[in-house]
Structure 1
Amino acid sequence: MAAAVAAHVLVFPAPGQGHIKCMMHFATGLVGAGLHVTFLHTDHSLRRLGGAAAALAAASADSPRLRFMSIPDGLPDDHARAVGDIVELLESLRTNGSVPYRSLLASLVRAGGGSGGFPPVTCVVADGSMPFAADVAEEIGVPSLVFRTASACSVLAYLSVHRLFELGEVPFPADGDLDEPVRGVPGMETFLRRRDLPGNFRSCTENQNDPIVQMLIEITAHSHRARAVVLNTAASMEGPALEHIVPRMRDVFAIGPLHAMFPAPAAATSLWREDDGCLAWLDGQTDRSVVYVSLGSFTVISQEQFTEFLHGLVAAGYPFLWVLRPDMVGTIQNAALREAVAAAGDSKARVVEWAPQLDVLRHRAVGCFLTHAGWNSTLEAAGEGVPTVCWPFFADQQMNSRFVGGVWRTGLDMKDVCDRAVVERMVREAMESGEIRASAQALAREVRQDVADGGSSAVEFERLVGFIKELSTRDRS
């Protein structure tokens, strides 16, 4: 008979801001449910956190069951690890990082790692973009689950990729009509267009040899085999997509938005140093008067795009808080910062390198959010009822922005356009439309019900904790 043991979960996110953030909220929830958690970073990510996460784990009396460890990703320290390097980074982790990962995990299975009284690891929850992490765990006898950090609607599109090729809906010609309907994704036949498919579908060839598409095909095939798939989403937002995903997996847990259920300290979730001073600036603005602009942790824009955004924001006439990362506009960054503030005037513009986004979205002064429609940002705006203008950059963001503009109607979809007149018009509409604001606030109420006690996400998280505990008590010898 299997003996009961303490559940100890190793949580392993891909080394990107959005992945680390949502999986840290997840880990916080597991700790709150009484489980031990080892949160595994890459060495590079942990260095970017400045050791703050490790210090928090060591010093916080509230989280004695949480600790942070790291392994090398196999790339040189001075490697940029930028958006164009994603495939290289993940491949390096698979080929170079899997050996130290296997060694570390084996040691944690034997003795819990020898510190802090942690029991042996009994389960791995690995980022779905790193199939090797789940496979290595299973090979050494540790049951593993897959965590998909993207939206359910985009996961469903990835699940449909072979069907899309069979129907001839991808690839489509470079000069083809991007508004042509797409029929191959179930449940989305009435509103999905070519331009709404995940970005790399546009670069597919007849041989399906786009590296990102190949990676997505591999990830999706792996998800089919996983013991379970965890999704950071809510039934009120993506119920129809979940209904199509569930029959195709062994089990699915929809447990979001995780940030609303399990707050985590910014020091443990952000690879960028947040500028808290922008909150004081917001305090000096009137209610719903500020446009918050942030295009996420990976998006890069050209000088021309920067200029169009800037002129559109200034012409809209509202104060704006703009997040411009140091690597976002290349070598012109310092000049861009000065130009943005000067163009609007000090009292009407605040430009920062990174912001405490959730605090910003909750601030009474914020009237709308110009976003890249990354899934974390989309969930945070939805939970706070903030109208959005979406300018997606890559991956699942094209799908997310379509749902914002065409399904939930909580904002506007500005994809494939970067024109000052369009920026001005859409910002004004998002700020002034009573219909959009009402839809955003209605969705926020539904999301809050999902994450409240007895709500669908809260119930699913309890089921997941039970599932993990059951895996931990099984005899795996």
Structure 2
Amino acid sequence: MGDSGQKPHAILICYPLQGHVIPSVHLACRLAEKGFTVTFINTHSVHYLLTNSNGRDGDIFSGIRKPGLDIRYVTISDGLPPEWDRGVNHDQFMASLLHVYSAHVEEALKKILTSSEDSGGPPVNCLIADTFFVFPGKLAKKYKLLFVSFWTEPALVFTLYYHLHLLRLNGHFGCIDMREDDIEYVPGVKSIQAKDLMSYIQETETETVCHQIIFNSFRDARNADFVLCNSVQELEQETVAALQEKTPFFAVGPIFPPVFAQSAVATSLWSESDCTQWLDKKPHGSVLYVTFGSYAHLSKQVLLEIAHGLSLSKVNFLWALRPDMVSSDESDPLPEDLRAEVSDRAMIIPWCSQKQVLAHPAIGGFLSHCGWNSTMESMWCEVPMLCFPLLTDQFTNRKLIVDDWKFGLNLCDRKPISKLEISEKIKLLMGGKTSDELRNAVKQVKKTMEAALSPNGSSQKNMDKFIKDVYTAIQQK
């Protein structure tokens, strides 16, 4: 495919958050395997964390580079010192991405363009950037490049942001007295409850830096030549079909490495504990895996209720508990007596290889914040979920998990959670009739994902069509 045409050379700009790094790295690898030259732009800060976590400095793609696989690697500043804590200083970090980062990207872009011309290498003709960046469409237009917007979340979330003007017009967003009835007017979405909208849409304060990023990034994304989405067409058939009427939208997920639980490229921003020996000693399907992602925080009160709920449930559990989960000042928020109480059936570690853990036969359930990577990995490993979303797309992902695909249980709806409720929900998830129903449902979802990735599956066909269309568009430029 495309042998007679000019080879695509894509600059891929990775959004500097853990949940975006993972699919961006694997997209770069997949496109390189399909014949693209890819120049991957990372921030100094993410590069610093990636290399610190795995003890190897330098180019993160060095382990896979070989003849015919052309991935280049560039790191640039995001406008802030590399070692500065972006999680604690969230608003300042987001403000830098909104106002400052584009200047650093453009400077790097000009160097790459000049270098390609001077070296006689493949000329740059494509800019692939995370949809949440506010500037790529403008840069692509300025430097006469194709603009590919990369969406790392489900199509449902994309279409709700894309149609934010309809939500505002109908009083479901941006009003003092927002409507709470069901939303039934968004193209490709039969019905969705207000509580299942992304957290930023549910907020009455809409002047924050994150809202500015959302508004500006989706204004920019409307000008994309193509949108790549890390989801599966059959899982969101109506939503994807409606979007395809408005924009060249390709569902190409799940974007996993060739061997699911192994990545030759570093994608974790933290050092990973090895849990294999502990899991090997546990019975099949007996362990609940617990983690709330790489970025969100919990209050001390909520964390303790969860911990006591886990203790009351009497199940085995593996908890990846980030040191900064409550605050950066308290590295161990769990009381010593609680740790002692569960020590015979619990492993509590700071971070782990989530793919390896979910793929282990001892894992029988996943108590999760419902981040999209976590959701897709849980589906692939046929692990039912207990859903406790914390922010952004996680509330909408929960709707898909619980209501649409029916392989998860809802922990609560923003009401105060109690250890008794947590314990009861864990028991339902891990054993009995409800657990069997969830496991049967997630097996069906896995089959759909596998079919999409098969040689004649929708994700493979969509990726091939995208590449063919890119070749055509390059010839026409």
Q: 2:227 matched to 1:222? A: no
Please say if residues 146 and 229 of structure 1, whose CA atoms lie closer than 8 Å, have aligned partners that are also in contact. Answer: yes
CA distance in structure 1 between the aligned counterparts of 2:112 and 2:288, rounded to whole angstroms: 47
- CA-CA distance at 1:342 after TM superposition: 1.8
Give 2:42's aligned residue. Answer: 41
Give secondary structure in 1 for the equivalent of 2:365: strand
Give 1:193's aligned residue. Answer: 193
Q: 2:164 matched to 1:166? A: no
How large is the Cα RMSD of the aligned pairs?
2.5
Judged with a 3 Å threshold, the aligned counterparts in structure 2 of structure 1 residues 124 and 228 are, in CA distance, closer, same or farther, namely same
CA distance in structure 1 between the aligned counterparts of 2:271 and 2:106, rounded to whole angstroms: 32
Aligned partner letter, 2:441: S
Please say if residues 314 and 343 of structure 1, whose CA atoms lie closer than 8 Å, have aligned partners that are also in contact. Answer: yes
Give 2:21's aligned residue. Answer: 20
- Report matched runs for 1:229-268 at 5 Å: 229-249=227-247, 251-259=248-256, 265=263, 267-268=265-266
Q: 2:232 matched to 1:269? A: no
- Report matched runs for 1:27-426 at 5 Å: 27-50=28-51, 52=56, 54-62=58-66, 64-82=69-87, 85=90, 88-112=92-116, 119-171=122-174, 180-190=181-191, 192-205=192-205, 208-249=206-247, 251-259=248-256, 265=263, 267-275=265-273, 277-330=274-327, 331-336=329-334, 338=336, 341-345=339-343, 347-414=344-411, 415-417=413-415, 418-426=417-425
Please say if residues 35 and 65 of structure 1, whose CA atoms lie closer than 8 Å, have aligned partners that are also in contact. Answer: yes
- Structure 1 portions without partners, runs of 5+: none
- CA-CA distance at 1:341 after TM superposition: 3.3
Please say if residues 71 and 97 of structure 1, whose CA atoms lie closer than 8 Å, have aligned partners that are also in contact. Answer: no
- CA-CA distance at 1:320 after TM superposition: 0.4
CA distance in structure 2 between the aligned counterparts of 1:262 and 1:12, rounded to whole angstroms: 24
Does 5-14 or 290-299 show the bigger shift?
A: 5-14
- CA-CA distance at 1:129 after TM superposition: 0.7
Aligned partner letter, 1:426: K
- CA-CA distance at 1:403 after TM superposition: 1.1
- CA-CA distance at 1:128 after TM superposition: 0.7
Please say if residues 145 and 227 of structure 1, whose CA atoms lie closer than 8 Å, have aligned partners that are also in contact. Answer: yes
TM-score, normalization: structure 1?
Answer: 0.90
Please say if residues 49 and 267 of structure 1, whose CA atoms lie closer than 8 Å, have aligned partners that are also in contact. Answer: no
Judged with a 3 Å threshold, the aligned counterparts in structure 2 of structure 1 residues 462 and 292 are, in CA distance, closer, same or farther, namely same
Judged with a 3 Å threshold, the aligned counterparts in structure 2 of structure 1 residues 134 and 261 are, in CA distance, closer, same or farther, namely farther
CA distance in structure 2 between the aligned counterparts of 1:243 and 1:146, rounded to whole angstroms: 18
Aligned pairs, number:
463
More helix by share: 1
- Where in structure 1 do 4 or more consecutive aligned residues deviate above 6 Å? none
Aligned partner letter, 2:72: R
- CA-CA distance at 1:258 after TM superposition: 0.5
Sequence identity of aligned pairs in percent? 27
After superposition, give the CA deviation of every residue in 1:2-23 in whole Å (9 maximum; x if it has no partner): x943322111111000111111
